Amino acid sequence: MPKVTMRVNGREVSGEVEGRTLLVQFLREGLGLTGTHVGCDTSQCGACTVHVNGLQVKSCTTFALDVDGAEVTTIEGMANADGSLSVIQQAFQDHHGLQCGFCTPGMVMAAAALLKENPKPTEAQIRHHLEGNICRCTGYHNIVKAVLAASGQDVSAIAAE
């Protein structure tokens, strides 16, 4: 079987994979990084979102072999160096931007990619950017609010906690 090598959350890893092995399978089963989730099989839900070379990708539609040599960041690599929650993660907790937690890793990764491109997005821009990430629990209210807050914008006028 072919061998693949990549840097995941700053650590060089390698493993043997089949041609059909998806990046998400390599992360979850090969590396035990189970924070990246699989919520669908049509590349719609975004629970599998990771960063490859700094860009947001859906790891359920990416072959592991296609990212040979790449820099991959998953939800496990998002906290601060001291283990504390990053600004985005903390905003999700502060504003109750998650309930069951299953879509959350993908939401955080998508939000991080947005804020890198657009540090002060509008509500509409956030909603548009999260088009490829489905949440069934929150009605998105607190997710959008958390991303606004993570970008340093005042969310006190938005109703509810």
Partner 1 sequence: MPKDGIGASIKRREDVRFLTGTGRYTDDINLRGQSYAWFVRSQVAHGKLNKVDTTAAAKMPGVLRIFTAKDFEGVGGLPCGWQIHDRHGKPMLEPKHPVLAEGKVRHVGDPIAVVVAETEAQARDAADAVVIDIDELPAVLDMKAAVAGGPLVHDDIGSNLCYDWGFVEENKAATDAAFAKADHVTTLELVNNRLAPNAMEPRAAIGDYDFATDMHTLYTTSQNPHVIRLLMGAFVLGIPEHKLRVVAPDVGGGFGSKIYHYAEEAFVTFAAKQLRRPVKWTATRSESFITDAQGRDHVTKIELALDKQGHFLALRTETYANMGAYLSTFSTAIPTYLHGTLMAGTYKTPHIYVNVKAVFTNTVPVDAYRGAGRPEATYQIERVIDKAARELGLDPLEIRRRNFIKADEFPYQTPVAVVYDTGDYDATMNKLESLADLAGFEKRRAESAKAGKLRGLGVNTYIEACGIAPSHLVGQLGARAGLYESATVRVNATGGVVVMTGSHSHGQGHETTFPQVIAEMIGIPVESVEIVHGDTANVPMGMGTYGSRSLAVGGSAMVKATNKIIAKAKKIAAHLMEASDADIELKDGKFSVAGTDKSVEWGAVCLAAYVPHNYPLESLEPGLEETAFYDPSNFTYPSGAYACEVEVDPDTGHVKVCAFTAVDDFGNVVNPMIVEGQVHGGIGQGIGQALLEHAVYDGNGQMIAGSFMDYAMPRAGDLPFYKVDHSCATPCTHNPLGVKGCGEAGAIGSPPAVVNAVVDALQRAGKKVSHIDMPLSPYRVWSAIQNA
| Binding window for partner 1 (CB under 8 A); candidates: 40-48, 51-59, 63-71, 112-120 | 40-48
Contact between 88 and 108 under an 8 Å Cβ cutoff? The reply is yes
Q: Residue 70 or 145: which CB sits closer to partner 1? A: 145
Q: Which amino acid is at 12?
A: E
Q: Characterise 139 by phi-psi region: left (phi > 0), alpha (psi -120 to 50), beta (else).
A: left
Q: Residue 67 or 121: which CB sits closer to partner 1? A: 121
The full DSSP string for 36-66 is S----SSS-S-TTEEEETTEEEEGGGSBGGG
Answer yes or no whether residue 39 interacts with partner 1 by CB under 8 A.
Answer: yes
Q: Characterise 159 by phi-psi region: left (phi > 0), alpha (psi -120 to 50), beta (else).
A: beta
Q: Which of 70, 108, 114, 149 binds partner 1 (CB under 8 A)?
A: 108
Answer yes or no whether residue 52 interacts with partner 1 by CB under 8 A.
Answer: no
| Binding window for partner 1 (CB under 8 A); candidates: 51-59, 61-69, 71-79, 113-121 | 71-79
CA 83 to chain centre: 17
Q: Applying CB under 8 A, which residues contact partner 1?
A: 18, 20, 28-29, 33-42, 44-45, 47, 74-76, 78-79, 85, 89, 92-94, 96, 98-105, 108, 123-124, 126-128, 130-131, 133-145, 158-161
